[in-house]
Amino acid sequence: MLIGTGKSHGKIIIMGEHAVVYGYPAIALPLLSIPVIVQIKQSSEKYISSRYYAGTLKDIPETLSGIKVLINQLDEKLNHNNLSYTITIDSSLPIERGLGSSAAISAAIVDAFFDFFKVELKNSEQLSYINDSETVNHGKASGLDGVTVISDESILFSKDKPVERFSFSSSGFIIIADSGVKGKTKQTVAEVRDMYNKDEETIAPILEKLGDYTLEAYEALKSNNLAELGKTFNSANLLLSQLDLGSTETDRLIEAANKGGSLGSKITGGGKGGCIICLASDLRSAQKIRNELQLANAYQTWIQPLSIYEEETDID
């Protein structure tokens, strides 16, 4: 029996969301401790099994249209003998929360298809497939999610520059809190674009400043200057709020995190729901912040060392 396996992981944007669409830099970290594993096995019909949907491929719902387009592309390219198969997706990533779920699933599906049909997969080819799927899901894709969900290093990304993968040593921790409300990336990307087209004089400087904060955050990470990094979190969140990307739920969580002693807090991803991220100087402080977030009814929380150590990541 033919079997193919693919693997990827989630991501979190530290700085630069939305601005990255306009050519400014962004920083993302891979969430190595939240993997996505896809397995393809030969079967009697084309079928998909996942927490999001279980059924035949032809009946995949509109909410998973990016995956449907991706599978059809891969099937047309690789399945010359018209084999039937079952695709099993194992993922703990919540969907539409800004944690890269759709990109990670796409990456693992591409990896699994090429493994199933025993064809060598080039990195550039995988990225192309991921970005095609992401464009269906969210509108014009920046490419940041695709790069990060198949990387085990931090990413400094700009659309028109080579991707910089970098590492750093930090004593800090990131707390991720899920508001329980689905993010609206496709909608918010379109809304920011509309704002930009209608009032470029106001919106362009906001996006440029978000790009500046990305570079400041990059330097703070490299020098382990957590106080400065926290300030950039807070400053960036104010600008993202000016772009109308906040929500009642994320605002409440940010207030709770700050009450718990966060060095800085901000929304992450598309906005109008999804997750926030907070910065703590050490694990004890991170746990205190998480307690406040849980009291504020955070749907789910994660604690991750700012430096990437898969074996030390704490998830609950």
State the CATH number of the domain containing residue 52: 3.30.230.10
| Count of domains forming the chain | 2
98 with 228, same domain: the answer is no
State the CATH number of the domain containing residue 231: 3.30.70.890
Q: What is the pLDDT along the chain (316 residues), one digit of tens a residue?
A: 689 999 999 898 999 999 988 989 999 999 887 889 999 999 999 999 998 889 998 888 887 888 899 999 999 999 999 999 999 999 877 777 778 888 999 999 999 999 999 999 998 999 899 988 877 766 666 678 888 899 888 999 888 888 898 888 888 999 999 998 887 777 888 899 999 999 999 999 999 999 999 999 999 999 999 999 999 999 999 999 999 999 999 999 999 999 999 999 999 988 888 899 999 999 999 999 999 999 999 998 989 888 864 333 444 4
Q: Which of 157, 177, 199 is the last residue of a domain?
A: 157
43 with 182, same domain: the answer is no
143 with 238, same domain: the answer is no
270 with 212, same domain: the answer is yes
Q: Which of 157, 177, 207 is the last residue of a domain?
A: 157
Q: Which of 157, 177, 208 is the last residue of a domain?
A: 157
219 with 271, same domain: the answer is yes
21 with 139, same domain: the answer is yes
Q: What is the pTM of this model?
A: 0.81
**Domain housing 197:** 169-315
175 with 253, same domain: the answer is yes
Residue 163 lies in a domain: no
196 with 262, same domain: the answer is yes
DSSP state string for the chain: --EEEEEEEEEEEEE-TTGGGGT--EEEEEEEEEEEEEEEEE-SS-EEE-SS-EEEGGG--GGGHHHHHHHHHHHHHH-TT---EEEEEEE-PPTTSSS-HHHHHHHHHHHHHHHHTT----HHHHHHHHHHHHHHHHSS--SHHHHHTT-SSEEEE-TTS--EEE----S-EEEEEE-SS---HHHHHHHHHHHHHH-HHHHHHHHHHHHHHHHHHHHHHHHT-HHHHHHHHHHHHHHHHHTT---HHHHHHHHHHHHTT-SEEEEESS-SSSEEEEEESSHHHHHHHHHHHHHTT-SEEEEEESS--GGG-EE-
142 with 189, same domain: the answer is no
Residue 42 lies in a domain: yes
